Structure 1
Amino acid sequence: MSVSPWNSTVLPPSTYWGQYQDITKSNAHLNVAERLWVAWYAWMQNDVLATGIMSFAIHELVYFGRSIPWVFIDSLGILRRYKIQNSKVPSLREQWDCAKFVLLSHFTVELPQIWLFHPMAQFFGLSTSIPFPSPWAMAYQIAIFFVMEDTWHYFMHRALHWGPLYKAIHKIHHQYSAPFGLAAEYASPIEVMILGFGTVSCPILWCALTGDLHILTMYIWIVLRLFQAIDAHSGYEFPYSLHHFLPFWAGADHHDLHHEKFIGNYASSFRWWDYLLNTEYTPDALKRRREEKAKATKAQ
């Protein structure tokens, strides 16, 4: 007869819940999340294994958990009026083929990198201990990571649109001119490593320079970055989309045009690099360029 670990008072410490109960008895000052965290590492008895499994599981659950709702939205057509390219709706077959390709990439390309993450993070001083950092510390660090990663992504993504690199590497990602959620990580292994490097290396660089970063902050950053990437590829523009409240936020309308036209709008999260370096591809930007060209012609 099985007994719920939450109700049981006697569990062998060899089980995860046994470890949790032992830690709870001797560390009443820790909150529930911190106890669950310590119990996980204590039960696994191998920090590399514990971090590797947790990192990969978080990535898969968030990626597919956030992408699959868009599959239903596309298939049922319930939000079609918000579809940016509403004449191009991916079929279930296309979405399934995309999911298989992405899953294969996750296991063959991303899993080895994730497994090496803990030793690298420890080398640079990333903390896995408790107590957890304050919400404020995590918030300002994640904001910095968004800015750093957006800069890396802009210049690397723009480079990948250079002829030879586009044909050899980036063309795979542009197979879908009307993107959808699952296609966020539909890319060649080389591209996954190049652009994924920015997601991981920016926090690691911060940690190396400041000596102040907890792996929980890293996890929250990666979850938010996944949400951003999937939503940017969703193909839907809503009245409550974030860029309506933060004008410098990129969003789906910004990236959808990039897939449709194959040029401009290279940044990941923000619009400022595209604006500053004149690679913004929007109706307003095109109008501004035409006006500037007309003024220059008139001045001559």
Structure 2
Amino acid sequence: MGFEVSDELLGTFVPVLIYWAYSGIYVLLDSFEKYRLHTRKDEDEKNLVSKRTVVKGVLLQQTIQAIVAIILFTVTGDDGAAASVKPSYIDLARQLVTAMLVLDTWQYFMHRYMHHNKFLYKHIHSQHHRLVVPYAFGALYNHPVEGLLLDTIGGALSFLLSGMSPRASIFFFSFATIKTVDDHCGLWLPGNLFHVLFRNNTAYHDVHHQLYGSKYNFSQPFFVMWDRILGTYMPYSLEKRTGGGFEVRPAKEGKDI
């Protein structure tokens, strides 16, 4: 008799494994100076937290997320009858798009509030902004309270309101994890499909991590609709830096490039 891993268990731990595996790829690419949005010197000098501390913080958040996921799957689980009914591709697409919109909406308003509430920013959200120069495995480096409010509860709401199954959640949360890591990777790689398919990308989020853009570009991780609707959208331009790489600058007018 073979060992069978449940969809709930996969939905809990696959995104964690993907986070570190995908981040690892970017760590290997990090030495290519011609693709970096910031120099390695800036990364070392401007960031206010060590990479060791970042790793510990991310592992803590992932532990909390795993516990909440297990509780959520246990509470919403059934006897397996519903799980045996496979949704149509149309239903699956609707569930995934709904989950994306729910997650984006929750994170935009919570993220924006954490910037405008001085107490929450000083004591909670500022921890994430210790990474002035973002890098891939720092994507989930947050205060535990922020991780719970922004990511864990946002993920739970997207799961519940979309009506997706635990199996579908494996793919959704894995995709959301890859997208979040990509947004923080600090690299502008040629042929990156995320940069082609999403206006919310590495450069877009890099603007938010800079002092001039800290009250703009709150949207994450998929779309930019709430920033555009509510006037917190800051366009940017990418310019080649002397010595290699790119520099993200705010654009007065026009489209992002």
Q: What TM-score do you get using the length of structure 2 for normalisation? A: 0.80
SS at 1:144's partner residue?
Answer: helix
The CA distance in 1 between the partners of 2:215 and 2:28, in whole Å, is: 29
From 254, 265, 283, the equivalent of 2:217 is 265
- What are the superposed Cα offsets for residues 137-160 of structure 1, whole Å, 9 maximum, x if unpaired? 323321221122111111110001
As a proportion of its length, which structure holds more helix?
1
Aligned AA for 1:61? L
From 177, 184, 190, the equivalent of 1:233 is 184
The alpha carbon displacement at 1:282 in A equals 2.6
The alpha carbon displacement at 1:69 in A equals 1.5
From 201, 204, 214, the equivalent of 1:254 is 204
- What are the superposed Cα offsets for residues 29-74 of structure 1, whole Å, 9 maximum, x if unpaired? xxxxxxxxxx435xxxxxxxx73x4333213211111111122222
The CA distance in 1 between the partners of 2:88 and 2:251, in whole Å, is: 44
- What are the superposed Cα offsets for residues 203-230 of structure 1, whole Å, 9 maximum, x if unpaired? 20232xxxxx321111111011101110
What corresponds to 1:280 in structure 2? Answer: 233
Supply the RMSD in Å over aligned alpha carbons. 2.7
- Whose RCO is larger (CA < 8 A, sep 6+)? 2
Contact 1:235–1:256 (8 Å) recurs in 2: yes
Contact 2:58–2:141 (8 Å) recurs in 1: yes
The CA distance in 2 between the partners of 1:172 and 1:95, in whole Å, is: 13
- Structure 1 portions without partners, runs of 5+: 1-12, 17-38, 42-49, 208-212, 290-300
SS at 2:11's partner residue?
Answer: helix
The CA distance in 2 between the partners of 1:226 and 1:128, in whole Å, is: 27
From 102, 105, 109, the equivalent of 1:155 is 109
List aligned pairs for 1:162-173, cutoff 5 A: 162=116, 163-173=118-128
List aligned pairs for 1:159-198, cutoff 5 A: 159-162=113-116, 163-196=118-151, 197-198=153-154
Q: How many pairs are equivalent?
A: 233
Aligned AA for 2:150? L
Q: What TM-score do you get using the length of structure 1 for normalisation? A: 0.69
Larger-Rg structure: 1
From 16, 19, 22, the equivalent of 1:60 is 16
Residues 121 and 60 of structure 1: CA distance in aligned 2, closer, same or farther (over 3 Å): same
1:73 correspondence with 2:73 = no
Aligned AA for 2:167? L
- Structure 2 portions without partners, runs of 5+: 238-249
What corresponds to 1:96 in structure 2? Answer: 52
Residues 176 and 244 of structure 1: CA distance in aligned 2, closer, same or farther (over 3 Å): closer
